[in-house]
Structure 1
Amino acid sequence: MTTPYTLASDRRTATQGASAAAAALCARLLLSAVFLISGISKFSNAEGTLGYIASAGLPFPEFSFGVAVLVEILGAILLIVGYQTRLVAILLAIFSLVTALAFHYQIDDQNQFIHFLKNLAIAGGLLQVAAFGPGSLSVDGRR
């Protein structure tokens, strides 16, 4: 039997579901923007990026460059569409932590410290996506 209370409760649940789906989509779009822009920038300025990687003392700068561009661009696209979202979010979180430690470890430099904290915050947001999923406005949510 349907009562006015049941109908109101159903509307509230539907509204909360739509709000959660929209928030999850926005979170994926905002998080992915950092990686997509960064990956395209690296690809567009390969020489400068390779020099930066080499100056950080990482072995195999060309290989590291290729991996970074692939992870950032492909990871961003997969995050945007919400495909294999939990796995992609975990991989991007790990990537963010590794880059924080490899490139922004000089925390006595305020600029580097801000970048370090930014990477930690991005990793935290990605772990939220991994924990709670992509929402219904995603490929994963449709399956």
Structure 2
Amino acid sequence: MDAVQPAWKTAAILIARLIFAAVFIMAAAFKFADMAGTAGYIAAAGFPLSLPLAWCAALLECALIIAFLTGAWFSEAALLAAAYVIFLAFSFHGPGRWAGNQAEFGFFVDHFTFMAGLFFAAAHGPGKVLALKQGVLGR
């Protein structure tokens, strides 16, 4: 039989889900507000087909937002988000950019702390409250 989860744990899980969603809401909003600018940033990093990639990134972020807010496919979404975040770290803030701007190293490291939170969330799931129980990964 499951023990009743303390209220502070339920609140912490819900707040964490909201923070994950908020980060991706901001990222998607910036992309939708200036898709051409996002495409330019992607092209400057050396990627071809920058406009389609910008749209793919924005749509992926929207899917992650839905998963974090609803709890549906939560663990899968958190793992996908972790892979996306590490890709972004190396692609846009990696070692090749540190010499030109030391702040890039800080941005790079920040991605790893975010990724750690995503891995922890993936392992522990969306919690028992306000979570659709969808997904293929067992808990």
Partner of 2:73: 84
Question: Where do 5+ consecutive residues of structure 1 fail to align?
Answer: 1-12
Contact 2:93 2:105 in 1 (8 A): yes
How many residues end up aligned between the 2 structures? Answer: 130
Find the aligned partners of 1:130 and 1:139 in 2 and give their Cα distance.
Answer: 14
Find the aligned partners of 1:27 and 1:104 in 2 and give their Cα distance.
Answer: 25
1:124 aligns with 2:94: no
1:107 aligns with 2:98: yes
Partner of 2:38: 49
1:68 to 54, 57, 73: 57
Question: Where do 5+ consecutive residues of structure 2 fail to align?
Answer: 135-139
Secondary structure of the structure 1 residue equivalent to 2:132: helix
Shift, 1:24, TM fit: 0.8
Shift, 1:83, TM fit: 1.1
Contact 2:36 2:51 in 1 (8 A): no
For the pair shown, the structure with the greater C-alpha radius of gyration is 1
Shift, 1:141, TM fit: 5.2
| Residue identity opposite 1:111 in structure 2 | A
Find the aligned partners of 2:49 and 2:130 in 1 and give their Cα distance.
Answer: 36
Report the structure, 1 or 2, having the larger helix content.
1
| Residue identity opposite 1:107 in structure 2 | W
Misfit runs of 4+, over 3 Å: none
1:136 aligns with 2:128: yes
Partner of 1:31: 20
| Residue identity opposite 1:35 in structure 2 | F
TM-score (norm 2): 0.85
Superposed CA deviations along residues 39-61 of structure 1, whole A, max 9, x for unmatched, are 11111111111110100001221
Partner of 1:3: none
- Pairwise CA RMSD of aligned residues? 1.9
Find the aligned partners of 2:48 and 2:6 in 1 and give their Cα distance.
Answer: 47
The equivalences for 1:90-101 within 5 A come to 90-101=79-90
